[in-house]
Amino acid sequence: MNSIIKIEDLHFSYDSDGGKEVHDEVLKGIDLTIEEGEFVAVLGHNGSGKSTLAKHLNAILLPTKGKVTVDGIDTADEGRLFDLRRRAGMVFQNPDNQIVSSIVEEDVAFALENLGVPYEEMRRRVDEALRSVNMYEYRLHSPAQLSGGQKQRVAIAGIIAMQPKCIILDEPTAMLDPSGRKEVMATVKRMNREQGITVVLITHYMDEAAQSGRVVVIDKGRLIMDGKPEKVFAQVDRMKEIGLDVPQVTELAWELNKAGYDISPEIITEDQCVDALLRLIG
């Protein structure tokens, strides 16, 4: 496998002109390598620096110190900015504030229009992208007629149309209702599985992180945990220490384990939990 994102000793602070405000550093030396096709969830509570980290992946922010490379492109290389942004698309939290056009299909085409893609190819890629997020039948609607989850799927289609290698989603479900969250998560997972697009999902929902292939925990600007979701969540003590929850099933298994029962806390889904409990009883 090839690594698509390489972050080396990333430091970042806002208003770093004077270089005096070292104590205001938001990111304090992050090293992270993400392989092509991975589905990585970045967890952390408010102010942990996880969104700041996401913004470095497509050069919205540039490192104060250190280096970020995406698909071989240094994010600090201004000459290749659009090249970089085409490869690493970004979906934001508020669906309303990232939809540009008043017609769904035209919004999906926005990036392609900017890149000067010829009409026939644009038409094909827009239709494909809309189908892949199951929004094709809404292509002529106005975004105002759509639900939050649908709008967010349109925003994702707008990124997919660029045919990126990697998609960064910055808390894409934070403003959605539960059914909207499900729609978006299903879309993201399908994209990762079927199209092999690398996904970096910034979130503070544990159940969403549990659906990923790898969880990275950020706290106070430092990367403190990195591993399979089972392994990360099983460290319930440590997660609670930094103010994060774990999925309910993990906590249940962990409590049982602590009470002396023979059950592994490396459980993140309800099915796993049911199986383990049955084994325990039977």
Partner 1 sequence: MLRDITIGQYFPGNSLIHRLDPRFKIVITVLYIIMLFAGGTYTGLAIGAAYALIAIALSKIKPKMFVKSIKPIMPFLLITALINLLLVSSGEILWQWKFLKITDAGINISVFMIIRIVLLIAGTSLLTYTTSPITLTDAIERLLSPLKKLKFPVHELAMMMSIALRFIPTLIEETDKIMSAQKARGAEIDTGSFITRARNLVSILVPLFISSFRRADELATAMECRCYNGGAGRTRLRQLKSAPRDYAALFVTAAFLAGVIIIGRIWS
Contact residues toward partner 1 (CB under 8 A) are: 58, 60, 82, 85-86, 89-90, 92, 94, 96-103, 105-106, 109-119, 122-123, 126, 142-144, 158-159, 162
Closest CB to partner 1 among 132 and 235?
A: 132
Closest CB to partner 1 among 103 and 280?
A: 103
Taking the complex as a whole, the smallest distance from the CB of residue 150 to partner 1 amounts, in Å, to 15
Closest CB to partner 1 among 80 and 228?
A: 80
φ, ψ (nearest 5 deg) of residue 111: -65, -40
Cα(171)–Cα(169) distance, integer angstroms: 6
Closest CB to partner 1 among 141 and 220?
A: 141
Taking the complex as a whole, the smallest distance from the CB of residue 101 to partner 1 amounts, in Å, to 6
Taking the complex as a whole, the smallest distance from the CB of residue 116 to partner 1 amounts, in Å, to 5
Taking the complex as a whole, the smallest distance from the CB of residue 165 to partner 1 amounts, in Å, to 15
φ, ψ (nearest 5 deg) of residue 102: -90, 10
Contact 89, 60 (CB under 8 A): no
Taking the complex as a whole, the smallest distance from the CB of residue 5 to partner 1 amounts, in Å, to 16
Closest CB to partner 1 among 94 and 272?
A: 94
Taking the complex as a whole, the smallest distance from the CB of residue 144 to partner 1 amounts, in Å, to 4
Q: Which two tokens stand for residue 270?
A: 């309800």
Cα(129)–Cα(108) distance, integer angstroms: 8
Q: Which two tokens stand for residue 275?
A: 């199986």
CA dihedral sign, ordered 227, 233, 236, 240? positive
Closest CB to partner 1 among 135 and 236?
A: 135
* Secondary structure of residue 269 in the 3-state scheme: coil
SS3 content of the chain, % helix, strand, coil (to 5): 45, 20, 35
* Secondary structure of residue 8 in the 3-state scheme: strand
Cα(24)–Cα(71) distance, integer angstroms: 30
